[in-house]
Amino acid sequence: MIWNKQAECMPAHELKSLQLERLRETVRLAGENVPHYKKQFADMKLKPSSITSLNDISKLPFTSKTDLRDGFPFGMFAVPQSDIVEIHTSSGTTGKPIVVGYTRSDIDLWGEVMARCLSMAGTTRDDIIQNGYGYGLFTGGLGVHYGAQKIGATVVPISAGNTKRQIEIMRDLGTTIITCTPSYALYLAESAEEEGLLPRKKIKLRAGCFGAEMWTEKMRDEIESRFKIMALNIYGLTELIGPGVANECEHKNGLHIFEDYFYPEVISPETLQTLPEGETGELVLTTLSRVGTPMIRFRTRDITSLHREPCKCGRTVVRMARITGRSDDMIKVRGVLIFPSQIERALLEIKDVEPQYQIVITRPHHLDELEVQVELSKKMFSDEIRHIEEFRRKIEDNIERTINLRVKVSLVEPKSLPRSEGKAKRVIDKREI
Partner 1 sequence: MDKVRQVSVFSENKPGRIQKITGIFGEEGINILAISITSTNGFGIIKLLVDKCDLAYEKLKEHGFTVKLSEVLAIEMKDSPGGLHEVSQILSDKGINIENAYVYVVESRARAYLLVEVKDIEKAREILAGSNLNFFRHEDF
**Positions that interact with partner 1 (CB under 8 A):** 376, 378, 381-385, 388-389, 392, 410-416
Q: What are phi and psi of 207, to 5 degrees?
A: -160, 170
Report in angstroms how near the CB of residue 391 gets to partner 1 at its nearest: 10
CA distance 95 to 104: 29
Alpha-carbon dihedral sign for residues 110, 116, 119, 125: positive
Report in angstroms how near the CB of residue 417 gets to partner 1 at its nearest: 11
CA distance 380 to 409: 14
Q: Residues 63, 91, 38, CA angle at the centre, nearest 5°?
A: 30
* Shorter beta-carbon distance to partner 1: residue 275 or 412: 412
Bridge partners for 178 per DSSP: 130, 208
Report in angstroms how near the CB of residue 359 gets to partner 1 at its nearest: 16
* Shorter beta-carbon distance to partner 1: residue 190 or 369: 369
Q: Which DSSP category does 274 fall into?
A: B
DSSP run (H or E) holding 231: strand 230-237
* Shorter beta-carbon distance to partner 1: residue 388 or 433: 388
Report in angstroms how near the CB of residue 369 gets to partner 1 at its nearest: 14
CA-to-CA dists, residue 215 to 150, 242, 280, angstroms = 28, 18, 17
Neighbouring C-alpha atoms within 13 Å toward the C-beta of 367: 14
> Amino acid identity, residue 112?
E
CA distance 411 to 414: 9
Q: What are phi and psi of 338, to 5 degrees?
A: -135, 135
Report in angstroms how near the CB of residue 392 gets to partner 1 at its nearest: 6
Report in angstroms how near the CB of residue 389 gets to partner 1 at its nearest: 6
Report in angstroms how near the CB of residue 370 gets to partner 1 at its nearest: 15
* Shorter beta-carbon distance to partner 1: residue 203 or 411: 411
* Shorter beta-carbon distance to partner 1: residue 270 or 384: 384
* Shorter beta-carbon distance to partner 1: residue 105 or 377: 377
* Shorter beta-carbon distance to partner 1: residue 283 or 411: 411
99 touches 75 (CB < 8 A):
no
